[in-house]
Amino acid sequence: MNETIATDRTKRNADNLELSGKGGLEARDLHAWFGTHHALADVSLHFPERTVTGLIGPSGCGKSTFLRLLNRMHEFIPKSAMAGEVLFNGDDIYAPGVNPTEIRKRIGMVFQKPNPFPAMTIGENVLAGVKLAKIKVENKDDLMEESLTRAGLWKEVRDRLNAAGGSLSGGQQQRLCIARALAMKPEALLLDEPCSALDPISTLRVEETIVQLSETMTIVIVTHNMQQAARVSDYCAFFLSNGGPGRLVEADLTNNIFNNPRDSRTADYVQGRFG
């Protein structure tokens, strides 16, 4: 017997959000290669504005590759290639003349392993991305406080902004990295297994942060933690590679993916029968 998995956010979504609007991020027929290795095939998926989408599937099915295609990080990798379109608020981010650096500012990314600059202070870490990108900031203290507050870390660090980033716990470091991404004022945030190195309490703190951020931005999160996907996401997308390139098996409201999926392979995966 399948157990029903409680999903927290689907109701909000189904009740309040426009599912087919033009806003947010949209992948159309995306493919990715590393040299001759076809890593990802035929992915079309819409991420509506102000929603959280969980990307799930076994290791190697192309989740990280897909995420990097969404903000033009993929092309950094030597011998990589891609095909397809990514629309951001209706505009193709791969159109000729679009500056990839500008896209990476608007679509931020947070990685699996918290990667603050350990010797820099907490405050300097928050502003590191802004400084690197040479973005002019009117009031650095305000931006620092705002970014740390939005990342759910301000109260814990406001008295020690000059301590080293490396002195924080793993969960705090990950929220510091989220604050660093938020200081760039992105319109969307891509998170690649952001909690996989964190303890359960830190994980819950980061999840609260994600849910809060989704009030104002589009969020995509890769996770291997099915409870996490159920807790934070409005939609889930299930990927599988099965020997060939990674493909999207199905995407739907999170509640449907967990409790009423269309594809039996999705049911097997979310019920923990493989992967």
Ligand X SMILES: Nc1ncnc2c1ncn2[C@@H]1O[C@H](COP(=O)(O)OP(=O)(O)O)[C@@H](O)[C@H]1O
Binding site for ligand X (CB under 6 A): 34, 37, 39, 59-65, 77, 246
H helix and E strand count, the chain: 11, 10
Give the residue with the Cβ less far from ligand X, 34 or 111: 34
Residue among 24, 104, 117, 223 at smallest CA distance from 210: 223
Give the residue with the Cβ less far from ligand X, 74 or 150: 74
Asked whether position 266 contacts Mg ion by CB under 5 A, the answer is no
Residue among 232, 125, 142, 257 at smallest CA distance from 181: 125
The residue at minimum Cβ distance from Mg ion is: 64
For residues 241 and 41, give the distance between their C-alpha atoms in angstroms, rounded to a whole number: 9
For residues 168 and 116, give the distance between their C-alpha atoms in angstroms, rounded to a whole number: 10
For residues 53 and 2, give the distance between their C-alpha atoms in angstroms, rounded to a whole number: 23
Give the nearest distance from C-beta 168 to Mg ion in angstroms: 24
Task: Pick the binder of Mg ion from 10, 64, 228, 255 (CB under 5 A).
Answer: 64
Q: Which residue has the tokens 């820099």?
A: 120
Stretch that binds Mg ion, among 62-70, 178-186, 206-214, 251-259 (CB under 5 A): 62-70
Give the residue with the Cβ less far from Mg ion, 64 or 233: 64
Give the nearest distance from C-beta 37 to ligand X in angstroms: 6
Asked whether position 65 contacts Mg ion by CB under 5 A, the answer is no
